[in-house]
Amino acid sequence: QSALTQPASVSGSPGQSITISCTGTSSDVGGYNYVSWYQQHPGKAPKLMIYEVSNRPSGVSNRFSGSKSGNTASLTISGLQAEDEADYYCSSYTSSSTLEVFGGGTKLTVL
Amino acid sequence: QVQLQESGPGLVKPSQTLSLTCTVSGGSISSGSYYWSWIRQPAGKGLEWIGRIYTSGSTNYNPSLKSRVTISVDTSKNQFSLKLSSVTAADTAVYYCAREDRYSYGLIGYWGQGTLVTVSS
């Protein structure tokens, strides 16, 4: 069982917006602003999309945005495109000895 | 452009030791700004952080694997390595090496392409 909880799947139509949640505890998501989001296409390595809750690396579309409220972080993708169909993982720093934990992943389907 | 490339056997027998090496190009592994990490992903499942090493040699490991994991660094070759002992079928996964920002936990900006390691007799 993953330390961070994500919905198994979400879907949306092209042009729509979707939000993926990532729920943890006060020892990880809620306690630190070190939440990252990764996009992973089949057979490929993960790609960093958001770091420190809401920052986008250079080159990542501004259609991707991140936020946090309490123990839940969220990734929002606006103006859905077919190429956004992928698995998305959140991660967070944790004060436990594990140091870093991932969510179980969310499969995004673009209808 | 930094690139990371995993290498090592794709098949390991149960109870033996899994050994992988990550070669870093386009940047120095001795840079003080990064941790060098290993992450794995069983087929159809999520990501699991294994551990990381700093250029000084200091390490952090996932407690669930700590008794079996050793990560080392060879700055002269710009490489770092993973050893996982006493493997079982549960250790079958794609193993990724990655570069993590030292000053922003979880900021893994560069990943290797991943290498599949199967544990089977």
- pLDDT at position A81: 97
What is the band of A2 on the pLDDT scale with cuts at 50, 70, 90? low
Segment B12-35 mean pLDDT: 95
Tokens of A38: 């990764």
Q: Tell me what the mean pLDDT of segment A62-89 comes to.
A: 97
Q: What is the DSSP string of B49-92?
A: EEEEEETTS-EEE-TTTTTTEEEEEETTTTEEEEEE-S--GGG-
The three-state secondary structure class of B48 is strand
Q: What are phi and psi of A83, to 5 degrees?
A: -70, -10
Cβ contact A36–B63 (<8 Å):
no
Residues of chain B with pLDDT > 70: what percent? 100
B 89-108 → A contacts, CB under 8 A = 96, 101, 104-108
What integer pLDDT is reported at residue A98 of this predicted model?
75
At residue B94, the pLDDT reads: 98
B35 bridge partner residues: B54, B100
pLDDT band at A95 (very low <50, low <70, confident <90, very high): confident
Asked if A35 is an interface residue toward chain B (Cβ–Cβ < 8 A), one would say yes
What are the CA-CA distances from residue B61 to residues A34, A98, B58 (Å)? 18, 7, 10
**Closest Cα in chain A to B114:** A45
pLDDT in tens, B25-74: 999 999 889 999 999 999 999 999 999 999 989 999 999 999 999 999 99
- Alpha-carbon gap: A100 to the closest alpha carbon of chain B (Å): 7
For the stretch A25-65, pLDDT in tens is: 999 999 999 999 999 999 999 999 999 999 999 999 999 99
Kindly state the helix (H) or strand (E) to which residue B40 belongs, with its residue range: strand B34-41
**A100/B113 touch (CB, cutoff 8 Å), yes or no:** no
The C-alpha of B6 sits at a distance from chain A's nearest C-alpha, in angstroms, of 12
Sequence-ordered strand ranges (E) for chain A:
9-12, 18-23, 35-40, 47-50, 64-69, 72-77, 86-93, 100-102, 106-110
Among candidate residues B110, B116, B114, the one with its CA nearest the CA of residue B29: B110
Share of chain B above pLDDT 90, in %: 90
